[in-house]
Structure 1
Amino acid sequence: MPKKRYLFIGYNYYPEFTGIAKYTAEMCDYLANVKKYDVSIITGNPYYPMWKLYEGYQNKFKQEFHNGVHVSRIPIYIPQQPTGRKRMIQDFSFLLLSMISVSKKLILDKKYDYLVIIAPSFLLGFVGMYYKLFSKKTKIIYHIQDLQIDAAKDLRLISNQKLLKVLFFLEKKILARVDFISTISAGMKVKISAKVKAKKDCLLFPNWIDDSAIFSTNGFEPQKNGLASFQNKKVMLYSGSIGEKQGLEILIEVADKLKTFPEILFVICGEGPYRVVLEARCKDKNLENIIFFNLAPAKDFNVLLNRADIHLIIQKNIDGDLFFPSKLNNIMAVGGCLIATVNETGSLYHLINKYTLGKIVPPSSPDELYKAILYLLASEDTCNGYKKNALTYAKNHLLKEHIIERFLLSINSTPSNRLVN
């Protein structure tokens, strides 16, 4: 029986190791090395989350073979300050160049069984539709990691109503034409299902944990991580992207309020265009209880995750179902004690509340976050309960192999363009 052939198309891939890139790379690796499928990807040259081309890469067309996956890299526009307008330029330029790469594959390569579009960029759905014109048997899977247009609207990255109307129209066309739609959270699934109504189902394909890389440890070795000088501190950890949608300025305010508690240290681990702004604010306030770390390889990152006394998920007061923070998976994988600033409308709120995974406080409320930190530091039993529940949830719901195999079963057993339960 011939091997199944998969082609992925998306901005982000290895060696980027956070966010969408991590899950796309792990999915490709699994299909190539566990399932023994023929897997290719069309992607950009690595730049995220620093919004700067990685050292050792040139922003040009390049062919690679990594861990069993054929990698076709194409030039990608990388703005230093990713405004809404500049991200649109990035989207359209990548769309054009990926069309060229797909055309080449249509001419030279054997046809693929599945073409997987990773959105954002939502526009890449048109690449799938284009490929389908010449390969009717290929199934197009449109996997949505972020509701890009809705988020741009809520965050006011795009305010032109006529433009938003055009973008939503284009998105609707894509959703109507692809064979399968999938997304990462129950709340996002509801929103997407409302866009397509009863025309087809949206499959749930959540992000996962790799328990061989991120796992709970009984202790930490301070000499092997950047927190060596702070081993007597109570560490409040935020790890992830540092951008507009996170609303991390609240941490500056809370750290300022907690200056009288010298045992409390805030650690912000990540990269992004907003980091320089936060660092400047810390300097202006002379805050010595907040430090910044760069992203670390998995082994060191696992040490850092286990070192934290309290993990922080910070979101602005916007629609909670426009994206879903993958950092929650890592927190649960290590059995972390969690505080999340989320509103009550999103699936993240309901997930944390249903399984008692952590403490929830309103977004954009420094006073409530301040009180929650002091409460949990004084409540060992409550923290231990959150930790136990997090580990149980991770083991029962987030293992990589189970999630991927369940998804593969769903696309192989479900007729495309058909409403299912």
Structure 2
Amino acid sequence: MIGNVALKFRVMVACLLMAVMCAGAAQAEIITPSQYVMIMDHETGDVLYEKNADLPMKPASMAKMMTIYLIFKQIKDASLRLDDKFIVSEKAYRKGGSRTFLEIGSQVSVSDLLRGIIVQSGNDAAIVVAEGLAGTEEAFAEEMTLTATKLGMMNTAFGNATGWPDEITTTTARDLAILARAIITEFPELYKIFNEKSFTYNDIKQGNRNPLLYALDHADGLKTGHTEESGYGLTASAERDGQRIILVLNGLGSNKERKQESIRLMDLSFRTFRKFTIVEQFEVLANAPVNMGEQTTVPVTAEKAITRVMPRKDFVGITRRIELDPDISAPVAKGQQLGSIYLTIGDSIERFPLVAANAVEELPFYAKIGAFFKVLIFGHEAPVVGSE
């Protein structure tokens, strides 16, 4: 009971924070029947569109992405191998819903179990892994929830390894996008399993349930979900022309609607949004005056390139404002912060630090006297700011 209250409070806080953070963000105007939506740029984490993204929802089999994440993590840490085997318990064997059709008492490799979960959405395979790694499915679910918190999925809790309906398991569209992004980023080689279109086990061949794998050449993951309570959902990812997009949908009315809407929104996202470089790396934005330095000015740049994923109309409307520290004196170290650049993007204003592009040494004592009188007579040199 206390856990549920805490989770509801975290959801409320997150909704308020996201409302503040996303106010004025560059997002497309999209109408969709999906009850919950999150569209995210994988590289930057920029939110391209969201609908009820922080409201609690049931993930159904999309919860298996966390089961997969924990398997991938142990493989990467070398504490688990693909040829390791786990025994199929009676609980796993008798579990209903989608299945890999594992035989009770048999030993199944991690490689086959992974494909059973990813391709076939096998509840039996997910339970076998959970019991093999944590002893019980309940203990594994606790680890799933703990890992979710570590990843920043602040509104997610798991009661089981499969996404089977219960009172505990809940998440949000935003949290599933965070999880998908982590899987793709942290395990690029293992992630390729999500792109496998079929898997045969026990002489039973089953196709991957992800509709985008068959409809879009550039789609390569991740996971569908469906129960009567959750509706039809999908967490998907696709890459086109060097840009990767993550899409989360849930609460749709049918398998057909899920397929049509996921194709439409993914295609729309690639056509609408592009990654723009607002400030180039090493671009000199201003020349800041330096008092008592061997050079009278120092070029100022952003710490790194500033990029955003947005519609072109929003990129064209961006404005810059540069503020430099009023009194900069030598010595100046390379990379020392000397001011800020403010970018107006839509209705929001974002601030980024400006730093010295190179070092400026202090004048020797005898030269400071001449420099002092020069400033006394002619004043400080005015900063030169680069054009828009």
The alignment's TM-score, normalised by the length of structure 2, stands at: 0.24
Greater Rg, structure 1 or structure 2?
A: 2
Q: Relative CO higher for 1 or 2, CA cutoff 8 Å, sep ≥ 6?
A: 2
- Normalized per residue, which structure has more strand? 2
